[in-house]
Structure 1
Amino acid sequence: MLFQTINIPQLNKTIKVPIGIFVSGTFVPSSDGGMIDSYNPATGKKIGSFYAGTQKDVNAAVEIAKDVYTYTWSMRPMKERRDLLLKLARLLERDKEILAALDSLDAGKPYNSNALSDLEQVITLTNYYAGAVGKYTNGEVIPVSNDKFCYTLKEPFGVVALIVPWNYPLAMACWKLQGALAAGNTVVIKPAENTSLSLLYFAQLIMEAGFPKGVVNVIPGYGKVVGEALSNHMDVNKISFTGSTAVGCRILQCAGMSNMKEVCLECGGKSPAVVFKDAQVDNAVAWTANGIFYNSGQNCTANSRIYVHENLYDEFLIKFKEYARRHYSFADFDVFNPDCTLGPVISQIQYDRIMEYIEHTEGKRDILFPIPLKTETSGFFVPPVIFTDVPETSALLQEEIFGPVVVINKFCHYSEVIKMANNSRYGLAAAVFTEGVRRGHRFARDVQAGTVWINSSNDEEVTVPFGGFKMSGVGRELGRYGVESYLQTKTVHMSMVPHH
């Protein structure tokens, strides 16, 4: 049996989900028969099992993707790519409730406030990349002299590998996959080992949309097996990864030591949010609370460091706590409850890691509502936690916690706060709240971050580029960059006169 049936009584749904690896349009067992168990982080109970790919499976998938690219996919007209992506968008719309439910079960996402929103973004993104086919692939003519004609071509890499994280299982996959397909590549994609279900179901939609067999291949499995094999593979010409900085560094090393494949990395973050004394406090409170507590803080761009001007600090802190208590709820620990806005963290390992930070002794700590007892739930629920008066050298301000834990400190002068905002090895995102146009743009110029929000936070758009500075990664995704990054430039020189 290469499918399993999953019942979701809260939605009155029964879902049939593939459990095989997906190669050349078919679900098959892994070469050694090894499997991975998937657990619901809201209950701790097993959902099911799926096959774990091996290096042999990766080799087979890459070989198929290479052949399909060479003899089939690269010869198809651009219009076909566009039409296939448009059909895929319609299928995603049709099955969005199923896909959202799988991410709720597998990743612990609140169904109504998180998982469905992810699917809406995925549908928007797929339609956008369908419209982008052919628009960012043009080269240019470069005038040199009357004796020479020079121009550039934009060409796909061929086989690209995609490795996606567990915090946004389907959304992060589609950030990469749809752009790679729009550019004309074939793909081997590895989902996170603890959140593979939605991408396995999604693979069925790829075939239903009509993509040729082998254009997209899905190989679930462990990072040290499948991830390493893809990173080292000589026939993979580009790899895109979202996840931890440590793993990103390892992928960069493997890519360089194999065939110097091009690499795009979106890694960790420790994003600051700065609230100046002229900010609209209620607006700043709402955006920053959402920026740290949405998805239980499991966001690379979570604004986990908030710096508030001393004139607003007391008012901001009171309103921030009130807002969090009013808008975030475990709702009886049921992620399908419409009132649930705070789900569990992904695993026991992540829960234990976050709890170690919460038990940190530096600064003042406020746990906004009691930590659930294991007698109440067997899931991994962590309440919002606020630290104040934390020294800049503290691990709470230097390390990515990846949970609903925030530090709120005060500042006095611009020069002081910009130094604090940049006091991090990360540089993924930053937010600033001010009614001063000059101050907002000055901060955007001075802060070391790949994305800056002025008077908002964590409101990405699929049409604009996203990526980090420093150890938050290299390369960009989304927008036109999400297509261009999957293309390589070829330069052509043509002599217009014979050589004498």
Structure 2
Amino acid sequence: MPFETIEIPQLNKTIKIPIGLFVDGQFIPSSSGEKIDTFNPATGEKIASFYAGTVEDVDAAVEIAKDVYSYTWSMQPIRDRRDLLLKLARLLERDREILAMLDAIDAGKPYHTNALADLDQVITLTKYYAGAVGNYTNGEIIPVNSDKFCYTLREPYGVVALIVPWNYPLAMACWKMQGALAAGNTIVIKPSENTSLSLLYLGQLIMEAGFPNGVVNIIPGAGNVVGEALAKHMKINKISFTGSTSVGCKILKYSGMSNMKEVCLECGGKSPAVVFKDADVDNAAAWTANGIFYNSGQNCTANSRIYVHENLYEEFLKKFKEYARNHYSFADFNVFNPDCTLGPVISKIQYDRIMKFIESPDGKRDILFPMPPNSETKGFFIPPVIFTDVPEKSPLLQEEIFGPVVVISKFCHYSEVVKMANNSRYGLAAAVFTEGVRRGHRFARDVHAGTVWINSSNDEEVTVPFGGFKMSGIGRELGRYGVESYLQTKTVHMSMVPHH
């Protein structure tokens, strides 16, 4: 089996990881033999090279997933699916630190504050979906009349394709995968070419847990090869994608052009946070600072637009800056340093893109703690940046930056700020800060977003549905929706009397 050994000197650890495609319960080279290099965004150093899947590899994985669904997995007792997910949860707990280390070096996540937190969520949701097996698959009896008996069945789609992003490599994979498995589907999943290591390692745990070979297949590779092949594949009945809006539109197009497969999309965001004059300013400053700077701003739900009532604006701005400076640190650019809370962005491409926004002539720019002038880091670190006095039509307020960059603006009236909050093609999430119960719920009703936080921001729960409005996506994940979205409804009519 193809493996590579990775050294993590900061923790005095050595990790052996698979670098092959995970198909039919084993790691194999790709059909082309080509590999992709993956780099540590904190140092710029190469970590490993893994095999890049091809269209032929996708076809082979889909055929295997289709056969194992038809002849094995669909016949598996519900209790067995539950027990396998529980076994997987225990293995995730056992290897929590290893998986967090992989995401720390592959995605540049601060190990102690970000990467371990991701694994804790993954473990929690795996246990949750183990408990959900069989709970949301029941149909219903529908009374019609005495001559007919009607009922519905909830059935898996069969083979589903999952495409996950680089900002939460393992967490986003498990958001989709565990729900799809709980519903009874088989899977072909594509990790980001930037961050494939933790998901490949997870393949080993899937084998160890005892899942039948071919239930889960992992095909890393280029998006325009593996991702496009999955979206166009005639034998895949559902695809779930998390990533950019532009790629999400392509997924939708390819799916419609092929077999009109069911599509779930979680795409970009430009999430507003609104701070009313009666808000607890310390609470608002803390939540919104974390809401934009956590994970270096690489969150689809990052509250990158903050609107503050003019009476509270100066106080809020002061406390926001104080909180960010006190809680976010590069800590010698070492993501394994316990004091490191701000990691790099994922790549040179992303770094250059964010820097173009930071160099915008719109508004006033405040870099909270500039990079040291003689920094020796070769990583892609960007300090938190605040813009003020930015016109509403500016790209800073309209485009998803996906970095530690925030615009803070004033408002006066409720109707004005609702209009500003909704002035976006995105509608993934929003936050509101107010001590007024009516005002908070009124705003939650009026804002165009799939998730609204009142007096907090970016605190998801695995039991609660998540998804967007407008160009932020289609469908929902997590909670019962994370199982139900991988089931299709069949209606059965039974005549109770002969027809004469």
TM-score, normalized by length of structure 2? 0.99
- Structure 2: how far apart are the matches of 1:380 and 1:297? 13
Q: Helix, strand or coil: the match of 1:365?
A: strand
Aligned position for 1:367: 367
- Indicate yes or no: 2:176 matched with 1:176: yes
Aligned position for 1:316: 316
Aligned position for 2:434: 434
- Structure 1: how far apart are the matches of 2:413 and 2:93? 49
- Indicate yes or no: 2:203 matched with 1:209: no
- Indicate yes or no: 2:199 matched with 1:199: yes
Q: Assess if the C-alpha contact under 8 Å between 1:228 and 1:251 holds in 2.
A: yes
Q: Helix, strand or coil: the match of 1:403?
A: coil
Aligned position for 1:299: 299
In structure 2, the gaps of 5 or more residues are: none
- Indicate yes or no: 2:286 matched with 1:286: yes
Following TM superposition, by how much is the alpha carbon of 1:160 offset from its aligned partner in structure 2, in angstroms? Answer: 0.1
Q: Assess if the C-alpha contact under 8 Å between 1:189 and 1:218 holds in 2.
A: yes
Q: Kindly provide the CA deviation profile for residues 440-485 of structure 1, in whole angstroms up to 9, marking residues without a partner as x.
A: 0000000000000000000000000000000000000000000000
Q: Helix, strand or coil: the match of 1:489?
A: strand
Aligned position for 1:390: 390
The amino acid of 2:497's aligned partner reads V
Backbone CA RMSD of aligned residues: 0.7
Q: Kindly provide the CA deviation profile for residues 195-227 of structure 1, in whole angstroms up to 9, marking residues without a partner as x.
A: 000000000000000000000000000000000
- Structure 2: how far apart are the matches of 1:375 and 1:184? 51
Q: Helix, strand or coil: the match of 2:465?
A: coil
- Structure 2: how far apart are the matches of 1:495 and 1:371? 75
- Structure 1: how far apart are the matches of 2:24 and 2:374? 44
The amino acid of 1:166's aligned partner reads W
- Structure 2: how far apart are the matches of 1:72 and 1:374? 60
- Structure 1: how far apart are the matches of 2:374 and 2:15? 29
Aligned position for 1:466: 466
Following TM superposition, by how much is the alpha carbon of 1:277 offset from its aligned partner in structure 2, in angstroms? Answer: 0.3
Q: Kindly provide the CA deviation profile for residues 127-176 of structure 1, in whole angstroms up to 9, marking residues without a partner as x.
A: 00000000000000000000000000000000000000000000000000
Following TM superposition, by how much is the alpha carbon of 1:184 offset from its aligned partner in structure 2, in angstroms? Answer: 0.1
- Structure 2: how far apart are the matches of 1:298 and 1:387? 18
Aligned position for 1:223: 223
- Structure 2: how far apart are the matches of 1:125 and 1:422? 32
Q: Assess if the C-alpha contact under 8 Å between 1:42 and 1:334 holds in 2.
A: yes
Q: Helix, strand or coil: the match of 2:48?
A: strand
The amino acid of 1:313's aligned partner reads Y
Q: Assess if the C-alpha contact under 8 Å between 1:30 and 1:57 holds in 2.
A: yes
- Structure 2: how far apart are the matches of 1:282 and 1:181? 42
Q: Assess if the C-alpha contact under 8 Å between 1:372 and 1:381 holds in 2.
A: no
Equivalences for residues 127-142 of structure 1 within 5 A: 127-142=127-142
- Indicate yes or no: 2:36 matched with 1:36: yes
Q: Helix, strand or coil: the match of 1:285?
A: helix
Q: Assess if the C-alpha contact under 8 Å between 1:83 and 1:130 holds in 2.
A: yes
Q: Percent identity?
A: 84
Following TM superposition, by how much is the alpha carbon of 1:293 offset from its aligned partner in structure 2, in angstroms? Answer: 0.0
Following TM superposition, by how much is the alpha carbon of 1:371 offset from its aligned partner in structure 2, in angstroms? Answer: 3.0
Q: Kindly provide the CA deviation profile for residues 60-81 of structure 1, in whole angstroms up to 9, marking residues without a partner as x.
A: 0000000000000000100000
Equivalences for residues 93-132 of structure 1 within 5 A: 93-132=93-132
Aligned position for 2:338: 338
The amino acid of 2:413's aligned partner reads H
The amino acid of 1:353's aligned partner reads R
Following TM superposition, by how much is the alpha carbon of 1:376 offset from its aligned partner in structure 2, in angstroms? Answer: 2.0
The amino acid of 2:490's aligned partner reads K
In structure 1, the gaps of 5 or more residues are: none
Aligned position for 2:150: 150
Equivalences for residues 341-360 of structure 1 within 5 A: 341-360=341-360
Aligned position for 2:5: 5
- Structure 1: how far apart are the matches of 2:485 and 2:372? 44
- Structure 2: how far apart are the matches of 1:171 and 1:372? 33
The amino acid of 1:177's aligned partner reads M
- Of 379-388 and 2-11, the range deviating more from structure 2: 2-11
Q: 1:374 to 1:207 in 2, by over 3 A?
A: farther
Q: Aligned residue pairs: how many?
A: 500
Q: Assess if the C-alpha contact under 8 Å between 1:284 and 1:456 holds in 2.
A: yes
The amino acid of 2:289's aligned partner reads A
The amino acid of 2:496's aligned partner reads M
- Structure 2: how far apart are the matches of 1:373 and 1:347? 21
Q: 1:143 to 1:374 in 2, by over 3 A?
A: farther
Following TM superposition, by how much is the alpha carbon of 1:374 offset from its aligned partner in structure 2, in angstroms? Answer: 7.4
TM-score, normalized by length of structure 1? 0.99
The amino acid of 1:403's aligned partner reads G
- Structure 2: how far apart are the matches of 1:240 and 1:289? 30
Aligned position for 1:74: 74
Q: Kindly provide the CA deviation profile for residues 363-382 of structure 1, in whole angstroms up to 9, marking residues without a partner as x.
A: 01100011355752100000
Following TM superposition, by how much is the alpha carbon of 1:186 offset from its aligned partner in structure 2, in angstroms? Answer: 0.1
Aligned position for 2:477: 477
Aligned position for 1:266: 266
The amino acid of 1:323's aligned partner reads Y
Q: Helix, strand or coil: the match of 2:459?
A: coil
Q: Assess if the C-alpha contact under 8 Å between 1:151 and 1:491 holds in 2.
A: yes
- Structure 2: how far apart are the matches of 1:104 and 1:360? 31
- Indicate yes or no: 2:220 matched with 1:246: no
- Structure 2: how far apart are the matches of 1:417 and 1:391? 14
